[in-house]
Each structure stands twice: as structure tokens, then as C-alpha cells.
């Protein structure tokens, strides 16, 4: 069946698979899993957070700069962006007036910040202008403030696609050349996203990055055929576009299992469909195991896969600690519990596997998460 794409220009760890399940070199899989574990405990500098470092009225000293950066280092930060900004609500003159921005005194303090950043292995950046104004005659278009815009084009598979992409619509005050194009622009990404009826990305692995197929003018891509669905669910919405209805009817005729939750929409669909039941009931009827079976009022989850490692990010939705037995659609895997707050990792040996599921007893504190 053909599949439609939308082109856009712009925690529990299950690992250590049994040998007969491994799809990659065992030694390489161990290295991947070990690096994932090591980086979780001690994230590399490239993955650590940074922040705008406000120098209110430029009122800083070498001592305060050193103290700020040492505190950032101690708290795990990796980058600081110097921002000389006015303290507008300066009640009782709490903040003094520092040297003029980029004057001799200001440059001396910036040099000290760069030196201390190098000593502490913290990357130092700087906002090019004082205050919130990012303009100035010295700022060329490629360095000016920018915004991200996108355009969309719908295509269908399977076929070869090669053609121009629509340029994004821009605001009237955007500086333009005589031909109507902006003075400066740069293509960031071309993404192919499955055009689901509910307009949601169900899994990031569905997104196809087409940058390597795009020369800046014309993309060239072999659009793949459609996915195989065990169950397609049309949610309880009142309106579904006619082209989507036709596509669903084509899928039903090809043997797809489709659950339609809105009675009016169900009456307008031709073909053998599932209706008047919940998603859980439909999965049971089709003998399909759920990916994760918690109490949905207490827990929520995201499932990702890296190589042969399955990662479940589980979060406590309640306002109190909970203890819950959950089943994961996974067997013959070693199980670890990773705490993203403390970076602690635990092996979970007391699991129970039946058929294609593994049951685990989870204990999560108030509004806590596990990986």
C-alpha cells in the first residue's frame, strides 16, 4: 500500500539479549550499552546544559565572575553566554553601574571570564550587543537575529520524488531582495513525516531526515511503501478528511485492522472495521500484546530502541509515591533501572516472564521518573 509523507523544510533499559536474539556483534553491543551507561552517569560536556549569564548593568567583578563560573562547574553546567543587560526594575539601586559595554573595563572583565572558562573547561559565549537590542550597523545579515520558518508538501509512496519545495511564507517586515527572497536564508533540514490522520508523530523513528538527498534546490528521494500496522486507530474525532477516508478504506480492503472510535465516522466507512470498543479490547480481540501495561491514570511512558537495547522512560503522573507491577512487551532481556535524577543504576533480577511479556515491580517516588 502507498504511504503519504509530509515534507517539512526547516527508564527502564532492556539489554543483554540472549545470544539467539542478537542482531549485532555481541562485543559491539556491549560497547554500545556500556557507553550509554557511562554517559548517563557522567554526561559528556557536549550534553550538559548551559545558560544565559546576565551581567546586570555590567556590574560584575573578576571575583564575582570566578565565583559564578565555579558554581556553574560544580552544578554540572558546560556553557555560559555573557549577556550585558539593563536591570530595569532596579529597586533602591541594588545593582550598580558597571563599565560601558565593550569599553576597556568591560573588555578586561570579558577576557577574565574567557580565561576562567578555559581553566574550568566551560565554554564561554557572548551576546554581541548590550541589552535586548541585537541590531546595529556592524551586524551583517548572516549574523543578525533569525527565526525558523517551514513549509509543507504532501507526497505519496511508493515512487521516486524529485521536484522543487515550496519556500516558507515570511512576514512582511522581513528584509528582502528585489526578487522577493530574503536577504539571507539557510536551509536547515528537510524531513519526511508520515501523514497520520491525527497529525501526531507516534514514534521519532518514523521521521526520515532527507538532508543528504537535498542539494539546496531539488530533493531526490525514493519514497518507501507504506508501513504494516497490526492495528490502526482512528480516534474519537468528528471530522476526517475525505482523502483520509478513502485511504483507510483502501487499507481495509487490503486486510488492515482498523478501529474507528467515532460512531458517525464508522457509519461512513465501507469495509469490515472494529468499533464500539476500546483500544485494549481491540488488541485483545486481535491477540496483540500491549507494549506497556500500567495503570494509565498513574503512569505514562515513552519507548525507544537503540540497537538491540529497549529503553522505556516511565513517569509517575500522581501526587504521591506509587508501587505498581507493570508488564513490558519484552522477553529474554537483562533489566536495569536508571534514575535520571541521581544517575543511579540498578539491576532488576526479580522479574517474571510469561509468553511475550516481562512483569516488573516498579516503585516510583512522588512525580519521579525512571529510565
Computed over every residue of the chain, the mean pLDDT equals 80
Average pLDDT over residues 23-49: 82
84 in Cβ contact with 128 (< 8 Å): no
pLDDT at 51: 92
pLDDT band at 18 (very low <50, low <70, confident <90, very high): very low
Measured CA angle at 65 (ends 60, 66), to 5 deg: 150
pTM (predicted TM-score): 0.36
Average pLDDT over residues 207-213: 79
With the C-alpha atoms ordered 212, 218, 219, 221, is the resulting torsion angle positive or negative?
Answer: negative
If one counts every other C-beta atom within 10 angstroms of the C-beta of residue 186, the result is 8
Average pLDDT over residues 220-236: 69
Q: What are the tens digits of pLDDT across the range 69-97?
A: 999 999 999 999 999 888 777 777 788 88
Name the grid cell of 170.
515570511
Is the predicted pLDDT of residue 22 greater than 50, yes or no?
Answer: no
Task: State how beta strands 322-328 and 357-364 pair.
Answer: antiparallel
End-to-end CA distance of the chain: 36
Is the predicted pLDDT of residue 210 greater than 60, yes or no?
Answer: yes
Is the predicted pLDDT of residue 4 greater than 60, yes or no?
Answer: no
- Cα–Cα distance for residue pair 196/63, rounded to 1 Å: 56
pLDDT at 7: 54
Is the predicted pLDDT of residue 129 greater than 60, yes or no?
Answer: yes
pLDDT at 229: 57
Domains of the chain: 11-39 (no CATH), 45-126 (3.30.750), 152-223 (no CATH), 232-285 (no CATH)
Q: What are the tens digits of pLDDT across the range 316-349?
A: 888 888 888 888 888 778 888 888 778 888 888 7
More confident: 132 or 311: 311
Our CA dihedral for 13, 18, 20, 21, rounded to 10 degrees, sits at -10
Is the predicted pLDDT of residue 255 greater than 80, yes or no?
Answer: no
Average pLDDT over residues 165-181: 88
More confident: 272 or 113: 113
Is the predicted pLDDT of residue 294 greater than 60, yes or no?
Answer: yes
251 in Cβ contact with 1 (< 8 Å): yes
Average pLDDT over residues 269-275: 87
More confident: 278 or 6: 278
Amino acid at each position: 500500500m502507498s504511504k503519504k509523507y509530509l515534507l517539512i523544510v526547516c527508564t527502564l533499559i532492556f539489554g543483554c539479549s540472549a545470544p539467539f536474539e542478537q542482531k549485532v556483534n555481541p562485543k559491539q553491543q556491549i560497547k554500545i550499552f556500556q557507553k550509554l551507561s557511562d554517559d548517563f552517569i557522567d554526561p559528556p560536556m557536549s550534553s550538559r546544559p548551559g545558560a544565559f549569564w546576565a551581567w546586570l548593568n555590567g556590574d560584575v567583578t573578576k571575583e564575582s565572575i570566578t565565583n559564578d563560573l565555579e558554581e556553574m562547574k560544580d552544578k554540572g553546567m558546560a556553557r555560559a553566554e555573557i549577556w550585558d543587560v539593563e536591570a530595569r526594575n532596579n529597586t533602591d539601586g541594588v545593582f550598580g553601574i558597571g563599565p560601558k559595554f565593550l569599553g576597556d573595563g568591560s573588555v578586561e572583565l570579558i577576557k577574565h571570564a574567557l580565561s576562567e572558562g578555559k581553566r574550568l573547561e566551560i565554554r564561554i559565549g557572548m551576546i554581541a550587543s548590550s541589552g535586548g537590542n541585537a541590531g546595529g550597523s556592524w551586524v551583517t545579515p548572516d549574523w543578525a537575529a533569525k527565526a525558523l520558518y517551514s513549509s509543507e508538501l504532501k507526497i505519496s509512496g511508493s515512487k521516486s520524488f524529485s521536484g522543487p519545495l515550496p519556500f516558507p511564507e515570511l512576514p512582511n517586515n522581513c528584509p528582502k531582495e528585489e526578487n522577493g527572497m530574503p536577504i539571507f536564508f539557510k536551509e536547515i533540514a528537510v524531513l519526511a513525516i508520515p501523514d497520520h490522520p491525527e497529525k501526531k508523530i507516534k514514534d521519532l523513528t518514523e521521521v526520515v531526515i532527507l538532508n543528504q538527498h537535498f542539494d539546496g534546490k531539488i530533493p531526490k528521494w525514493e519514497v518507501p511503501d507504506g508501513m504494516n500496522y497490526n492495528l490502526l486507530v482512528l480516534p474519537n474525532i468528528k471530522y476526517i478528511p475525505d482523502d483520509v477516508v478513502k485511504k483507510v478504506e483502501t487499507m481495509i480492503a487490503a486486510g488492515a485492522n482498523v478501529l474507528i472510535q467515532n460512531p458517525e465516522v464508522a457509519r461512513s466507512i465501507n469495509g469490515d472495521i472494529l468499533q464500539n470498543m476500546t483500544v485494549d479490547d481491540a488488541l485483545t480481540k486481535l491477540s496483540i500484546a500491549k507494549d506497556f501495561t500500567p495503570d494509565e491514570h498513574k503512569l505514562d511512558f515513552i519507548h525507544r530502541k537503540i540497537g538491540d537495547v529497549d529503553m522505556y522512560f516511565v513517569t509517575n503522573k500522581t501526587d504521591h509515591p506509587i508501587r505498581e507491577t507493570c508488564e513490558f512487551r519484552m522477553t529474554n532481556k537483562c533489566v536495569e533501572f536508571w534514575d535520571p535524577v541521581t544517575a543511579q543504576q540498578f539491576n532488576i533480577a526479580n522479574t517474571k516472564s510469561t509468553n511475550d511479556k516481562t512483569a516488573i515491580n516498579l516503585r516510583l517516588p512522588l512525580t519521579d521518573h525512571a529510565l
